[in-house]
Each structure stands twice: as C-alpha cells, then as structure tokens.
Chains A and B, each alone.
Chain A
Amino acid sequence: MNVIEAAGLSKIYGKGSTRVEALRDVSFGVAQGEFVAIVGASGSGKSTLLHLLGGLDRPTSGEVYIDGENLYALKEKERAVFRRRKIGFIFQSFNLIPVLNVEENIQLPLLLDHRQPDKGYIRDLIATLGLDNRRKHLPSELSGGQQQRVAIGRALAYKPAIVLADEPTGNLDSANGREVLELLKLAVRQYHQTVIVISHDMNVAAEADRVLRLQDGRLVSDTRGVSRV
C-alpha cells in the first residue's frame, strides 16, 4: 500500500487578473521507504505540492492520503497533531528555534505531544547526524550544514511516516549538501523512512529512487530508478 496518495490536487491562488494556477490536477502515490525527488523550474509548483502533502496549506480541489488518512478531512487541530506525529519537515532555511539547543530542537515535536523522548533513539540519531559534541549548542553557534543536520534530526525524531524536505541543500555548499543528502538516504535505509525532496539540484535528483517532474503546475514525468541507471 502507498504511504502517500495524492489524488487530483489543484491549487489556485488569487482571483481575476491575478489568478495563478499553481498546481493542476496532480495525482501520484509513493510507497513506504521510497526516496522521491520532485524537480522543476522555479514557479512550477514544487513548493505548493510539498505544502499540500504536508498539510500546511489547503488544496483548491483534490485529496491527500497519508497512511490511509485523508489529510484534508481532518480538522485544523487534528491535522496539527497528525503533522506532528506523521510528517517531518526540513526547510531550506533550517528554521530552528533559536532559543533551544541542538538536543531540544530535535526533541521538540515529541515535547509538543507531551511525550518523553526515547533517550536511546535520540542519542543514536544525534550520533548518526554527527552532532555528538554539539548537543548543548544553540543554532546560532552552528554552521549551516550543522544546522540543517539538526533540522533533519528534528524531522526524524518522531519516526514519522514521511519526511518532506524543501530544498534542503539549497543554502549549503556542495560538501555539506552531499552530507545532508547522505543522511536522508541513510534515513531511508536505516529507519525505512519515506522521503520526498524538492530540489533544483540535479545531484539530488540523481540520488533519488524516483523523480517527479513538474512543469507549470502539471506532473509531466515520473521516472523510477534514475540512480541505478
């Protein structure tokens, strides 16, 4: 069974002369443990699609199922809780909470759920991310690559059903970018995570199991096994 099912997703912004069709009737499914890249020119609707998959925005029409749950049939509060438990986000601009240290940032989704983190798992995660000696540092004391690794840790902390990453390497140099990518792949392998990455970066697409290409809001191609070619 697919862990993500997108059915007929459309998103229209504005009205009249300012009307923009950001996404037109996009449908696809993603299986558990897949590493999917969504590529396309800027303005092609990549970010809109990702936001809709993550339940951050509302589609104009169409539906999103995650783990069999119709995301937009949920109430606002239920969707927030669902997001917290099932979806991990990684952003281009890291978006860490500046007043929390590395460890706390990673644990935050659990804490929002009033849960005590599984210490072993978190320690393991931090070690995997290579942040062992940075656990008590604040985001402002970290490099960009390190910050993004924290963001990945945060996205994985709850062992979500899917991880959505919006240009995760966009703000990083190539070495750091590669490292982040490796970590995401590691997550797919080690924790059997489903990861969807948006990127301009052809390196990212090259690493993915499957590449979805968007153009003017339409899904124009769906290629599998690129990395193996």
Chain B
Amino acid sequence: MTALFSRRALLSGGAALATATLLPLPALAVTEAQARGMVDALVAEVNAVIASGKSEQAMYNDFATIFDRYADVPTIAMYSLGNAGRAATPAQRQQFVGVFRTYIARKYGSRFREFVGGQIAVENARTINNYVEVQTTAYLRGEDPFRVDFHVSDQSGRNAFFNIIIEGVNMLLSERTEMAALLDRHGGNVDALIASLR
C-alpha cells in the first residue's frame, strides 16, 4: 500500500493543491488531500489487522470496528431508511441508527477479509460538489484488479466516508433497496424493521 502510494501520488496531490490555490472554488471543508489521507489510514488499518494473524472471527470484529470508525453511520442509516425516516419519531430514528450500526459494520466489515493477500492502491481524488471521491484499485489474489471508490465528507463534523462504490455498485442504493424490502415485509412498520435488525 505505502509503496504504491508513492512519488506519483504525492506529485498529483501537490498538483491538486496548486490548482486549489489558483482556482476560485466554493468553500470546501474536506480537501482532496485529507480525504485521500483518510482512505490511506483506513486501508493501513485493514492491512494491519490482516497482518496480525488473528483468528477469522477476531478479524471480523476488528473490521467491523474499523468500518464504524471511518464511516458516517447515522447518515448512511437515515439515507437507507429513505422516506420512512421522515415519518419516524426521533426515538425511532435513534433506535434505527443504533441497530443499523451493527448491521452495516458486520455486513461490509466482513467483506474486508477478501483483501487478505491483496492490496488497495489509492489512485486519485476529485472533488464532486461538496464531497471528495477517492478512487482506489483493489488487487486481490486470483482476480482482475477492480475499482473501489470512497465518497468522503466532513458534514458529520469529522472526515468520514458515506458511500462505497465497487465497480459501479453503490452501497447507499443497495441499502436503501434492502431497507425498503424489509419495511415491505413488515407492512411498513418501522418498529418491526428495527426489531428485525437486532
């Protein structure tokens, strides 16, 4: 990872900074360099867990913790809940975010195990509206390299990712589809949805 995040990356990061000082841009809170640095730190933590040689179950727990720490879970949760979230009471929202936190960290954290024996190279970062898209390439054993993008924002008060896009497939949309289907199954009852995620 660190080997790949090398001179070329630093140079292009420098170029981005130079451009930022020259062009009049809207007030941006998270910079491309910060977003890139955040994804680098995330990847380094995942790699450290993989290198630790722990049991697979211990790794899952660590991955879930890492996911939770770097993701803006309340925003992902409320987006996934969609329209039903607008009608929910503050108490219901709080409970939903709570159960969703465990659900999402387990679900996506467990996927980090696929990086065992592989690596993620941070390729590029670009600003889209008021967030930064960090483009990475995942090199996994026995598979063709594929693209993974992290969308990073600081609108939660800290730098955190709110979406992961793997070869075009978008976590926010997948989870909104999943929550809508679960809600349907429970007749649109948010409390029943919360209970089912526990």
Q: Do A and B come from one complex?
A: no
Chain A contacts to B: CB under 8 angstroms? none
